[in-house]
Structure 1
Amino acid sequence: MLTVLIADDEYFIRQRLIKIIDWERLELEFIGEAENGNEVIEKIDSNQVDILMLDIKMPIKSGIEVAEHIMTNNIKTKIIILTGYNDFDYAQKAVKFKVEDYLLKPINKDTLNEALLSCKNTILKSLEKQKKIYDYNNYQKHIYLYNTILDFNNIHSLYKEYPDFKNYHSLLFIGVFYPNDHDNYIASFISYLAKCFNELNKETIFAQSYKESESISIIQLITKSKTAIKVNYIKEMVIDYITKDNYVFIAIGDFISIKENWTKNYKLVWNLLYQRYFIDDNIILSKKLSSPNKNKYKTITIRKNLLLCLNSKNYSDLKKLINDIFINIRKNASKDYLILSLTEIFVTLQIHFPDQINSKSINSFVQELISENYSLQYLQDTVNTYSNQCMDYVNHEKPSNTSLVNRVIKYIQKNYTDPFLSVAEISDFFELTPTYLGSIFKKIAGQSILQYITELRMEQAKKLLNTNKYNVTEISQMVGYSDVFYFSKKFKKIHGCSPKHYSS
């Protein structure tokens, strides 16, 4: 709510003004009164005052002197002048100091409330404009820094574009996997880290995040300290913050000089996050990154054995084969082996059952699958679901639970604009576990719930872009993305170009 201060040297006038203002309807908050110019200045300098109702004739300092103080010090308070003197000279001075309105006493109730409403609307429009400018500038900086991470820009071009970064010396990336209410979790985590660094070095750090999937963000911390903070201290910070559960994983990279290559350290954190499949800890450090297996991965037999099981129409043999594949994945404890195995499985299924596996790119499908999950058991369940679906097709069995999936689809179509829509939220609504509902949906729809939500949002985004009525930020919010940077990246991945270029 916007705040209002009433300043008049006559007590009864102040009380009448307080009484006749329609505070509730206008959604304004009364924060005090003043009886002389000095008192007004003291209150404005120490409080957030959005609207000042100011008598032009007051003791010590006049209303005009107060207005001059406000303008000279670039204070954002809007002024409505109140006076009993219909004096053109006063009016001219009021205009000079950018007074919002000029009302003659005795003040009419309706006129006063109309003036306050007009003043409020002016402030809100100004705030909205400032926010759009602020958001745009932040978005541009976000893109520039991300391009620096990708090595499209170098540190010297960054200094030229944003000279303030010359004052920073050290950099750290922290990866976060968290599937529930991800955006709010990341915002809260960044605030916590900023507070910890401030307490440690008495300095403000530059911190922001890059959302890479629905469940993964990489946080970038840039500090002015020339001495790198020990990673063990960062680990202690994280331990104090996170709860020990199966849903949050934090990967902590290495502190480097801001002048070093960012790409290498960004990829390091990415690879660290994949270790969540192979270790029993929520916090992953660089020393826990498994060494590449020099032996050639033996995935070539997967295709042959998988086809034998499918064509034999034997569910138990199929389940045993998939279990054996995941035993080998656990033994290798390698992201590369995990990706190779899953790719081999889904390429085989797509080649022989194209109607059941309708993903355009198996590589993208596998990457998204391992980005959005955290346990090998869940991945194994997913592979079982798709494989059984293909075997059902071989056996000419009609899929069950079609009615449930249709209800889920209708629910998603109704609520896709909600940024908090998630598999967990949908599962709660239908009173089912996420794993069970996810497996049923994949079996019937041929894709995951998350894939369906993403495709629906992107199709709606295309329609909105074609109208040429909205900017990218507005469309991002209209289709359920609170992070316009992530929306743009997702749109480009699916449609091959950015939203801006699509609409141009």
Structure 2
Amino acid sequence: MSSLKVVIVDDEFLIRNYLKRRVCWEELGMEIAGEASSAREALDLIDQIIPDIIFTDICMPFMDGIEFSKAVVEKFPHIKIVIITGHDEFDYVKRSIKLGISDFLLKPVNPEEIRKVALELKSKIEMERTHIKEYEKLKQRLDESLPYMQEKFLNEILLGELDQHEIVDKMAYFKIIMNEQSDVFQTAVVEVSDSVGGPHDREEELILLAMKCSDLIRQVLKEDLFVHVFFDNSRKIVILSNNESLDLTDCCETIKALLINRCKCFVSIGIGNKIHGLKNIKVTYREACDALNYKVVIGKNQVVNYNDITYNSDQSWRGIPNKGEKLDFFIKTGMKYKAIELIDELFSESCFNLSITIENLRLEAFDIISTCMRVLLEFKIDTSSLWGKNTKPYEDVFRMDNLLEMKDYLKSLLEKVINKIHSFNERKANILIVQIQEYIEQNMHDSNLSLSTIAKEFYVSPSHLCRLFKQETKQTVVEYITRQRMEYAKKILKETNLKVYQIGEMVGINDPNYFSTIFKKFTGLSVNEFRKKVE
């Protein structure tokens, strides 16, 4: 690979000179292709040079490094940009990474940091160039592909659309080699999906991935003339074997490991039984598809034989009666274990049958998510505080393609929601208790102040208030009222010469004898004894 071109942009000559001279760019496989003292000058220079990497300061006159970077990325998205910034702008730069800035260095920079960033960017550039080359090669391969008519013919066999004579005649025409000494056939169906997700889920990328995997499978089986690899009508890879001695299960385990390692993708393989006769290839293919569909239960990266799968004989999706109401109740009451039990029951492997698809499971999951969202809205809880602004549960579920992954995800989601509701209720209870305590302090002179009057004032039941108050303060409402009244009475006794009945009325106890009794019980002293002690 030729040297990568580097451009330095900084309004200070000493900084530009430092960056040029303190790093041996040639050793890194790079060259300083140009430098500029301003962003405007740099834009003209970049149009001429089209560098691979730009090191730019963030603070420059007329146009700062962020605006400059935005202009560059819009025109040349492949160029890697490194922002050099002082401590004060550090947070600002981090927020600007979304513009396409590849990295940033904090001043003062040292040569080793520059070298490290440069080498990392070089590695990224090399990977991108390799990917582009592979992409172009695979795209050309896509245009060529397997001969269309040959693949179409093999799919007609899989679907049982041809009779015996048609199959034999067309096999000769399409030069498809079969074993004349054996009429035993067996099929395997391979499904691959990108393990990275995101933009790689584009249809073209998935087709290219499948083509790459099919090429690798052909390499594994290239010595066996009686094994054919092709795509079915749903773009799954089909392995059709006419080699009776081939252990297709062992072979598929090897293929699975190879694809996972080389393509970094998810692999699911279903294998049908061995059958006799060309006309019955459709049977082993259908069995392989049923075995492959079992990935909905056991997850990805599995090889499944048709004889190993177990389905519920009930061909209907049973669901759970009043599922939404039950889940709503479990969430609001904090019954986490009950909510988890409901998910386990709903997504039990035993409920799976041939008629159930991943779409059925997704719809059930969407209902659960909707219930969670509805409860959160009832409590006026911002959902972004629970799973972040960039996380979208519906999209997460839509990307899932098996029961186990979906079940684990929903359990985790429910735990988060229930914990959030619990925290919300705790904060709400704490606020209520503080308000009640303030109310008691302001109304302790009222002789009618009691548990029932306070409950009525705050629109809660006396039993709930009693339980909540005890939970938060470790004392009953009556105990708290009495304590506040006695503390205030002590204060009055210390500061005034009022009589006992007057003090009693001020703290809401109109009976002087009862006041004296309560006061002595609370302080251990009679009113007169307390007065003498504090005088």
Q: What's the TM-score bracket when you normalise by the shorter of the two chains? A: 0.3 to 0.5
Q: TM-score, normalised by structure 1?
A: 0.37
Structure of higher CA gyration radius: 2
